[in-house]
Amino acid sequence: HSTVQIQKGLAGVVADTTAISKVNPETNSLLYRGYPVQELAATQPFEAVAYLLWNGELPSDEQLAELRAEERRHRALADNVRAAIDLLPLSAHPMDEVRTAVSVIGASDVSGSGSVLDAAGSPEENLARSVRLYAALPAIVAYGQRRRRGEQLVEPRDDLDYAANFLWMTFGEEADAVVVDAFNRSMTLYAEHSFNASTFTARVITSTLSDLYSAVVGAIGALKGPLHGGANEAVMHIFDEIGEADKVVAWLDEALAEKRKIMGFGHRVYKRGDSRVPTMKAALDTLVEHYDRPDVAALYDALESEFVSRKGIYPNLDYPSGPAYNLIGFDTLTFTPLFIASRVTGWTAHVMEQTASNALIRPLSAYNGVDERHIDGYVPDAEAL
Ligand code: CMC
């Protein structure tokens, strides 16, 4: 019998250092490059947060203008990406659609020698790729929702910043300032969270000296699951199932009796509440007021207080962001792709950090299968011995 200690799910394992973000469950805080995420959400456009994650510092006015110009240059949906999306069935999950689109973008980037020896790319190449990918994702996500609704593609608008243009391309109309602000905050809150499952996936792929696009495609696959990013979609299904605040108690009785996981609650790292929730809840409150939907707030509060009092498990970011995206008008299936559009900044920052001080990620396993055995009648080939 082996005496090695298995940390199931790598729980509690410190896998490497990172200078990108710091999660502190004791103080319930999350810092991006040293800045509390609440402060960034309240004061910065998402473009500046992306710059911060990639470069380590907030941009000067000039640096921000440069990033914005580059972002605008790569906003439009490329013809081959659109063609690839159009080949997919309308019933394809949008996460699969975005994963496919990123794969097409990666295969279309023929910079470098084309050999695997060159796949990892230089720091300059990877920063440029990160910016282009972050710039391209809103059009992919927006077009996906429009396609499913039978609507035409909306071209980007050069006079709008990232968040406003994202909403424009999705809905074909200019969003009100309060909506742009709530959406911008959500993008900042979703951008980065240390070694979560999708980011770790990206780092594992990067550690083999594979390319940045492969790392992002793998990360999207990890994000899709309802224990991770898929939870924001799953929260909305739960809201739809419950319907109204009065039905929370009966619904929860049944769900807990069936031992269901309540999506949008619980976290591997935070055990006393997710540091991002108060900021996103405040953004949700502004939307509830803007759209005059007190029923949404009532259902939100009822499920939260009932579940917390019964289980002592607190909401995570997906709990307020689900209903917020619903109020803005996103389809439920589009919620997790929005998470991709934001988290791609964190993923790519980690790809660059991993590349800069790489060690192949290759843990060990403790074998617990059947003992060694042999094929009946097998006689070793004398020549091969
Ligand atoms: N509903 C019901 N019970 C729960 C929940 C929940 N949401 N979360 C944890 N528990 C219970 C769990 O059943 C277990 O109970 P017991 O010890 O009796 O078996 C105990 O709490 C510990 O949970 P765990 O699943 O072993 O802990 P973990 O650290 O592996 O889980 C988690 C973290 C996020 C996977 C889990 O809380 C969960 O499944 N939550 C619902 C999905 C979700 O909202 N995910 C989003 C995560 S945060 C943001 C993101 O990545 O998008």
Are residues 70 and 131 in contact, defined by beta-carbon separation less than 8 angstroms? yes
- Ligand 1 atom closest to the Cα of residue 319 is 44
Q: Whose CA is nearest to atom 32 of ligand 1?
A: 267
Instruction: Determine which one of 74, 228, 267, 350 is catalytic.
Output: 267
Instruction: Determine which one of 181, 211, 274, 318 is catalytic.
Output: 318
- Ligand 1 atom closest to the Cα of residue 265 is 7
317 C-alpha to center of ligand 1: Å?
13
276 C-alpha to center of ligand 1: Å?
17
The residue written with tokens 């300032």 in the block is: 177
Are residues 168 and 175 in contact, defined by beta-carbon separation less than 8 angstroms? yes
Domains of the chain: 17-225+333-356 (1.10.580.10), 231-328 (1.10.230.10)
Cα torsion for 137, 141, 147, 152, to the nearest 10°? -60
The residue written with tokens 């809840």 in the block is: 281
Apex CA 120: angle with CA 117 and CA 123, to 5°? 130
299-351 residue pLDDT tens: 999 999 999 999 999 999 999 999 999 999 999 999 999 999 999 999 999 99
- Ligand 1 atom closest to the Cα of residue 259 is 2
265 C-alpha to center of ligand 1: Å?
7
CA distance 160 to 180: 11
- Ligand 1 atom closest to the Cα of residue 229 is 52
267 C-alpha to center of ligand 1: Å?
6
- Ligand 1 atom closest to the Cα of residue 9 is 30
Q: Whose CA is nearest to atom 34 of ligand 1?
A: 267
User: What is the pLDDT tens value at each position of the chain, 385 positions in all?
Assistant: 557 899 999 999 999 999 999 999 888 899 999 999 999 999 999 999 999 999 999 999 999 999 999 999 999 999 999 999 999 999 999 999 999 999 999 999 987 777 888 888 899 999 999 999 999 999 999 999 999 999 999 999 999 999 999 999 999 999 999 999 999 999 999 999 999 999 999 999 999 999 999 999 999 999 999 999 999 999 999 999 999 999 999 999 999 999 999 999 999 999 889 999 999 999 999 999 999 999 999 999 999 999 999 999 999 999 999 999 999 999 999 999 999 999 999 999 999 999 999 999 999 999 999 999 999 999 988 776 6
Predicted pLDDT of residue 27? 86
Instruction: Please name which of 95, 190, 142, 171 lies closest in space to residue 327, comparing C-alpha atoms.
Output: 171
User: What is residue 35's three-state secondary structure?
Assistant: strand
Q: Pocket around ligand 1: residues whose beta carbon is below 6 Å from it?
A: 9, 196, 226-229, 231, 261-268, 313, 316-318
Q: At 31, which helix (H) or strand (E)?
A: strand 29-32
Instruction: Confirm whether 350 is a catalytic residue.
Output: no
Predicted pLDDT of residue 385? 63
264 C-alpha to center of ligand 1: Å?
9
Are residues 177 and 160 in contact, defined by beta-carbon separation less than 8 angstroms? no
Ligand 1 pocket: which of 268, 310, 314, 338 to mutate (most atoms <8 Å of CB)? 268
* Structure token pair of residue 235: 């929260």
The complex scores an ipTM of 0.97
Instruction: Confirm whether 211 is a catalytic residue.
Output: no
Ligand 1 pocket: which of 316, 336, 342, 343 to mutate (most atoms <8 Å of CB)? 316
243 C-alpha to center of ligand 1: Å?
23
Predicted pLDDT of residue 381? 84
* Structure token pair of residue 337: 């792709």
